[in-house]
């Protein structure tokens, strides 16, 4: 390689982008995922505590109210099931029949 070629290669390589560091990128992704997990976990714990404390304080009254009527009991069961599914992150659209039901309801309103 001549002196001219080496100077040309040095000049062309001076503006080259930096070498990618895969371990650094992976470390950044891991830190971001851990932070997202901590936020999601703290939100879940806050929601559970916000629901459990009043329910625990009024458990007898809630039990009497929900047990007095079958429709109330079904409504409470459906709401509790939906709350648990939302907290554990179950995508409702993947459950059998939910997507078709949602499309039918959407058809009623947006026909």
Residue 70 shares a structural domain with residue 103: yes
Classified as helix, coil or strand, 42 is: helix
Evaluate whether residue 3 is within a structural domain: no
Those residues with Cβ within 8 angstroms of residue 47's Cβ, 6 or more apart along the chain or in another chain: 87
Measure the N-to-C terminal CA separation of the chain; round to a whole number of Å. Answer: 74
Span 39-49, pLDDT tens digits: 888 887 888 88
Tell me, yes or no, whether 32 lies in a domain. yes
Distance CA 96, CA 47 (A): 27
Q: Give the percent of the chain with pLDDT over 90.
A: 6
- Alpha-helical (H) ranges within the chain are 3-14, 22-57, 59-67, 70-88, 98-109
- Per the structure, the count of domains in the chain is 2
What pLDDT does residue 33 have?
93
Can you give the pTM of this predicted structure? 0.46
Mean pLDDT, the chain, whole residue set:
80
**51 in a structural domain:** yes
Residue 41 lies in a domain: yes
Is residue 24 located within the same domain as residue 48? yes
Same domain, 52 and 73: no
- Identify the domain containing residue 90 by its residue range: 66-111
Distance CA(78)–CA(57), nearest Å, equals 21
Are 86 and 107 in the same domain? Answer: yes
pLDDT score of 92: 67
Report the alpha-carbon distance of residue 36 to residue 29 in Å, rounded: 11
């Amino acid at each position: 390689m001549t002196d001219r070629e080496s100077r040309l290669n040095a000049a062309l390589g001076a503006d080259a982008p930096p070498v990618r560091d895969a371990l650094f990128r992976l470390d950044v992704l891991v830190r971001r995922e851990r932070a997202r997990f901590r936020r999601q976990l703290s939100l879940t714990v806050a929601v559970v505590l916000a629901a459990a404390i009043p329910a625990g304080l009024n458990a007898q009254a809630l039990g009497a109210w929900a047990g007095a009527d079958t429709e109330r009991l079904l409504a409470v069961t459906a709401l509790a099931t939906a709350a648990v599914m939302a907290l554990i992150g179950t995508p409702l659209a993947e459950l059998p029949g939910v997507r078709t039901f949602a499309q039918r309801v959407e058809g009623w309103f947006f026909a």
